[in-house]
Amino acid sequence: MLQSEENSHLPWHRLDRGDQHPEEIIIDGIQAEWLPIILQGSLSEIYVFNCDTLHFEYANQAATDNLQYNLQELGSMSPASIVRGLTPEAYAQLLDGLRHGSPAAIQANLTHARKDGSTYPIEFRLFYLKTSTGPVIIAIGNDVSSRDKSDKALRASESRLGAMVSNTPGLVYQFLLHGNGRSSFPYLSEGCEALLGVTADELHDNPSLFMELILPEDRPSYMESMAASTKEMSGWNWEGRIRIEKWNDIKWINLRATPRALDGHDVQWEGIMTNITASKLEQEEIIRSRAQLAELSAHIDTVKEQERTRIAREIHDDLGGNLTAIKMALTLLARRLPKDPSLIEKADYVEQLVDRTIETVHRIASDLRPGVLDFGLVAAIDWQAKEFEKQCGIPCEFSANKTEIDLDPNQAAALFRIFQEALTNIAKHAHASLVHVQLLHTHRYVRLEIVDNGRGIKAADRAKPKSFGIRGMVERSIAMGGSLSVSTSLKGGTIVAINVPLPDLPELSIP
């Protein structure tokens, strides 16, 4: 008969069998009053059923709560009636040996059915116990549904992680740096051999193989980046080259990993290594192409300046000389003309036309190459600033810290052209009312700075597809070994600054 904890005094006795497990040792009758509290307070489901009838004789609170049956209902039931997946005969066969004390205990994983029809997995340990009223079977079980759900979730998570790792282009890895300086790779994905040319097992057994793969000239940067990541506990990002001897191949790899401190002084990184050889080669090709374009641009500018100089000289010397000779001959002829007003008027007209043509020739020659450049860079920029103020009506203040600046002729011409382009941009787009120009000469560089008080320049303006003005200025500055920056001043307007480095002068030795 199933009893409740208030009036249950089961005849528990200590067994004298020497092979008995601790779980089968039952408390003496002296402490029997403890048993109801122990049984009822247990989170495990505890059942006692008769060896002969296989009917319940006892169930604790955890069992009745989980099964949703009360003690009276369980009293008329057998354990086989709440087990799913096993017939009563199969259940009796499972307990057949235990019912006679051999073996003294068994384990079983079963499925219980609640009163509402739901089921849950339970893990049992069943013990045989001989009492004064007859042998019984004590079953202690734990509901493992939560554990099974966790296991399923873990397996699903591992499956998803495995799928992502297997489809990741590169090597997913863990790198462990021990406090004593020794290193290891706790985890390496399947991409290890394809990327590094060594199997995961080989790298597990000999972690130093990875350092041997890195080219000697790239090892210092590898160690420095690792030390920095260790010290600051920041992301580890390194690019370098490895040599794979068996393939006679050199690869660029990128390493990205996140550190975390472990017990002691150990640090472990989780990250990914990828093959960036193709992108590196493309980057080098882009750099090489840009360098070639810069050289070509510089060559074109040099040739263009030379051609401008030649054309300007020919226009000035030949065409200007011819026009001057025509003017002199025309003046001589005009003096010998009859005193006919119409002829004199026509002669004056032709003379004025020659004068205008001479002015046009001078202007074209000056535009091609200002003759003022022959007087030096300071004089040329000062002259251009005054011409800008005269033509555009915008005040242009110029200052220089030296009256003469000795600069390579090609560099001087390029700097002058950049200045002309900057003034053209101000006239077209800035809506400025004042321009400041400053030319500085130091022992390290020549700096030209043009500042206007206009509306400023936006990043979108510089990114326009056909915005060649600033691009041309940048290319000219690069071609002469300098740099150009365009920024917005604090008071509005635009600042264009060009720095041209000067060659290092040999140090004077003092005897």
The pLDDT mean for the chain works out to 83
CA dist., res. 392 & res. 384, Å (int): 12
Res. 504 pLDDT band, cuts 50 70 90: low
Confidence of residue 14 (pLDDT cuts 50, 70, 90): very low
157-204 tens-digit pLDDT = 766 766 666 666 789 999 999 988 899 999 998 889 889 999 999 999
168-275 has which CATH code? 3.30.450.20
State the DSSP H helix or E strand holding residue 484, giving kind and residue range, or none if neither.
Answer: strand 483-488
Predicted local confidence at residue 220, as pLDDT? 95
End-to-end CA gap in the chain: 120
- Cβ 327 vs Cβ 355: under 8 Å: yes
Scored b (16 or more CB within 10 A) or e, 446-472 reads bbbbbbbbbebbeeeeeeeeeeeebee
Any residues with CB less than 8 A from the CB of 477 and at least 6 apart, and which? 414, 418, 483, 484, 498, 500
Sign (positive/negative) of CA torsion 101, 105, 109, 115?
positive
pLDDT of residue 459: 66
Angle between helices 341-368 and 277-314 (to 10 degrees): 150
The pair of structure tokens assigned to 21 is 């497990």
* Burial of 50 from C-beta contacts in 10 A (0-12 / 13-18 / 19+): middle
* Residue 33 scores a pLDDT above 50: yes
Residue the block writes with tokens 């002068």: 505
Amino acid at 176: L
Residue 81, CA atoms < 13 Å, CB-side half-sphere: 14
Class of domain 373-501: alpha beta
Q: Please report, as a single letter, which amino acid is at residue 490.
A: L
pLDDT digits (tens, 9 = 90+) for 114-123: 999 999 999 9
Both tokens assigned to 492: 């509005």
Q: Where are the beta strands (DSSP E) in 37-104?
A: 45-50, 56-59, 83-84
pTM of this structure: 0.47
Q: What pLDDT does residue 316 have?
A: 74
Structure tokens at 255: 């390493």
At position 197, the amino acid (one-letter code) is G
Per the rule left: phi > 0, alpha: psi between -120 and 50, beta: everything else, 135 is beta
Classify residue 345 as exposed, middle or buried by CB count within 10 Å of its CB (0-12, 13-18, 19+): exposed
Cis peptide before 103 (omega within 30 of 0): yes
- In tens, the pLDDT along 301-322 reads 778 777 877 887 788 778 878 8
Q: What is the dihedral of CA 130, 131, 132, 133, to 10 degrees?
A: -100
When the candidates are 3.50.50.60, 3.30.365.10, 3.30.559.10, 3.30.450.20, the CATH number that belongs to 22-148 is: 3.30.450.20
Give the pLDDT band (50/70/90) at residue 139. Answer: very high
Say which DSSP state 507 is in.
P
CB 377 within 8 A of CB 415: yes
User: What are the phi and psi torsion angles at 212 (to 5°)?
Assistant: -70, -25
